[in-house]
Amino acid sequence: MCENHKKTLYGFDIITFLLFLQANGELAQLARALAWHARGHRFEPDILHFAILLVNMQTGDITVQELKKRLDAGENIILIDVREPHEYQICNLGGKLIPLGSLPQRLDELEEYKDKEIIVHCRTGGRSANAVAFLKSQGFTNPRNLIGGVHAWADQIDNAMPKY
């Protein structure tokens, strides 16, 4: 890959482009920029981390590193796993299992946490992002998506954790 492609995206300096997207609330475009990276057009590591930081600032998502640090510090974390029971049996982070499909019917189980931080995760982050959006629509003030889900945890925190 040409060195120039590592520093530009759509003809713009990548940092400037990402800042512009974040400042204008263009999460879809910011997500496309990260998808561009995932398709093999690699950003330099510092630029990738910067892009993820911007997404986190915009959406309130949390990284596995941040979650691990908080768990290690003994914080009382409300962790919800929205995968299916058979997935939970393969590997889990110890959160309360509420599959995404049953979340609307089980919302009363989370009512006491409506104004507290709730960290939601799944396998890779898609279902949990949907769960976070649903919780916000139901008046929950601080649901957060674990970026990358248990796959990111297995890759970055616990290499012994099974991936499926």
Catalytic residue of the set 93, 122, 150, 154: 122
**Structure tokens given for 61:** 């998502």
How far is the C-alpha of 142 from the C-alpha of 14, rounded, in Å? 30
**Structure tokens given for 152:** 């990111």
2 is catalytic: no
Report the amino acid identity of residue 50.
F
Torsion of CA 132, 50, 150, 72, to 10 degrees: -100
Active-site residues, by number, are 122
